[in-house]
């Protein structure tokens, strides 16, 4: 199966198949299709691309505790998931293969600052495009749209949607849009809001019975539910729209345009679908193809 996927990718790229992909072939990705690495790439006027080229590697901000999206295997140290594959696709089309990528796990609250500081070249990790964030950074995309949802214990029938959270302890993450919504829409009393750094910490609290619900994007919660299906369930009534973008330096329009071109091509062709099918598509319902918004 992996060999066939590799062959299709190479042939689709118009290349003769000269080598056979084996398990563990360098550059072969852990969770998705192998990307053909572009050569002689130019992104005129992009400061970020200039830095990447000088450095000889791409530094990408990701999540490390979100199964099927951005997940670091504790044993192998390998990153996998939909966001990671999107990050690799962009890197490959910029001319950098898997061996030229360094991942930095950055929690939701640290994303804007990491981009502003130049600690990372770009960020791919369930990062909702919105106007507030656009004041500090810019976004390519969207490459997917999720929606806020709730994760509860499987035995809990008392929580059926956002309107049933009063009197319940609800956990979400600092610097995220879901914690913002819990507060601005008064979904529960402020004394019942538990705010942590990562969603996996919230899930642990739920498992221990210290809270009643974790709230964030359905795509993230489905990943946790799939890991422990006997313990958790996703309520399944989304109550927001969370279009995911790739975060990058605010003033780097040249790189943003290039990334949008790369995403557009992958969406129009079969690149995006292959990534989706190999990752998120395994646990969720089929997704609509995203429409890139240029600005």
Q: Between 177 and 188, whose beta carbon lies closer to ligand GLU?
A: 177
* 64 sits near ligand GLU (criterion: CB under 6 A): no
How many residues line the site for ligand GLU (CB under 6 A)? Answer: 12
Q: How many other β-carbons are positioned within 10 Å of the β-carbon of residue 59?
A: 17
* 35 sits near ligand GLU (criterion: CB under 6 A): no
How far, in Å, CA of 79 to CA of 151, rounded?
A: 24
What's the min distance (Å) between Cβ of 127 and ligand GLU? 5
How far, in Å, CA of 99 to CA of 58, rounded?
A: 10
Which 3-state string (H, E, C) describes 25-45? CCCCCCCCCCCCCCCCCCCCC
* 128 sits near ligand GLU (criterion: CB under 6 A): yes
What's the min distance (Å) between Cβ of 140 and ligand GLU? 15
End-to-end, the C-alpha distance of the chain in Å comes to 39
Of 233-252, binders to ligand GLU (CB under 6 A) are: 242
**Region from 97-105, 170-178, 224-232, 262-270 binding ligand GLU, contact rule CB under 6 A:** 170-178
* 108 sits near ligand GLU (criterion: CB under 6 A): yes
* 173 sits near ligand GLU (criterion: CB under 6 A): yes
Tokens of 1: 């199966």
Nearest by Cα to 13 from 271, 227, 290: 271
**Region from 43-51, 85-93, 113-121, 169-177 binding ligand GLU, contact rule CB under 6 A:** 169-177
Nearest by Cα to 273 from 3, 79, 12: 12
Note whether 86 and 143 are within 8 A (CB): yes
The single residue among 49, 71, 103, 127 that binds ligand GLU, judged by CB under 6 A, is: 127
Q: At 194, which helix (H) or strand (E)?
A: strand 193-196
The residues, any chain, with a CB within 8 Å of residue 113's CB and separated by 6 or more, are: none
* 83 sits near ligand GLU (criterion: CB under 6 A): no
* 112 sits near ligand GLU (criterion: CB under 6 A): no
**Region from 38-46, 122-130, 221-229, 230-238 binding ligand GLU, contact rule CB under 6 A:** 122-130
**Region from 52-60, 77-85, 120-128, 200-208 binding ligand GLU, contact rule CB under 6 A:** 120-128
Q: Could you tell me where the DSSP H helices lie in 135-252?
A: 177-184, 199-207, 218-227
Binding mask 176-205 toward ligand GLU (x if CB under 6 A, else -) reads xxx---------------------------
* 217 sits near ligand GLU (criterion: CB under 6 A): yes
Q: Between 33 and 178, whose beta carbon lies closer to ligand GLU?
A: 178
What's the min distance (Å) between Cβ of 128 and ligand GLU? 4
Handedness of CA 241, 246, 249, 252 (dihedral sign): negative
What's phi and psi for 253, nearest 5 deg? -65, -35
Binding positions for ligand GLU, rule: CB under 6 A: 108, 125-128, 173, 176-178, 216-217, 242
């Amino acid at each position: 199966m992996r060999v066939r996927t590799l062959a299709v990718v190479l042939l689709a790229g118009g290349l003769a198949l000269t080598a056979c992909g084996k398990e563990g072939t360098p550059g072969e990705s852990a969770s998705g299709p192998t990307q053909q690495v572009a050569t002689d790439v130019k992104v005129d006027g992009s400061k970020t691309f200039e830095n990447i080229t000088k450095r000889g590697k791409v530094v990408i901000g990701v999540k490390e505790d979100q199964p099927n999206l951005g997940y670091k295997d504790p044993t192998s140290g390998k990153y996998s998931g939909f966001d990671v594959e999107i990050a690799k696709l962009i890197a490959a089309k910029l001319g950098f293969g898997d061996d030229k990528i360094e991942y930095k796990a950055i929690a939701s609250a640290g994303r804007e600052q990491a981009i502003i500081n130049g600690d990372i070249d770009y960020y791919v990790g369930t990062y909702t495009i919105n106007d507030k964030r656009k004041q500090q950074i810019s976004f390519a995309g969207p490459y997917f749209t999720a929606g806020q949802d709730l994760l509860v214990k499987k035995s809990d029938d008392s929580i059926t949607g956002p309107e049933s959270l009063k009197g319940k302890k609800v956990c979400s993450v600092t610097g995220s849009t879901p914690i913002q919504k819990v507060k601005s829409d008064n979904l529960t009393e402020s004394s019942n809001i538990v705010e942590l750094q990562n969603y996996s910490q919230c899930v642990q609290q739920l498992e221990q019975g210290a809270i009643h619900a974790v709230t964030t994007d359905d795509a993230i919660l489905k990943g946790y539910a799939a890991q422990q299906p006997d313990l958790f369930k996703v309520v399944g009534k989304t109550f927001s729209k969370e279009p995911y973008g790739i975060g990058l330096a605010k003033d780097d329009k040249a790189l943003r345009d290039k990334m949008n071109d790369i995403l557009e091509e992958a969406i129009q062709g079969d690149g995006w679908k292959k990534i989706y099918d190999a990752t998120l598509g395994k646990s969720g319902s089929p997704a609509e193809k995203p429409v890139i918004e240029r600005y």
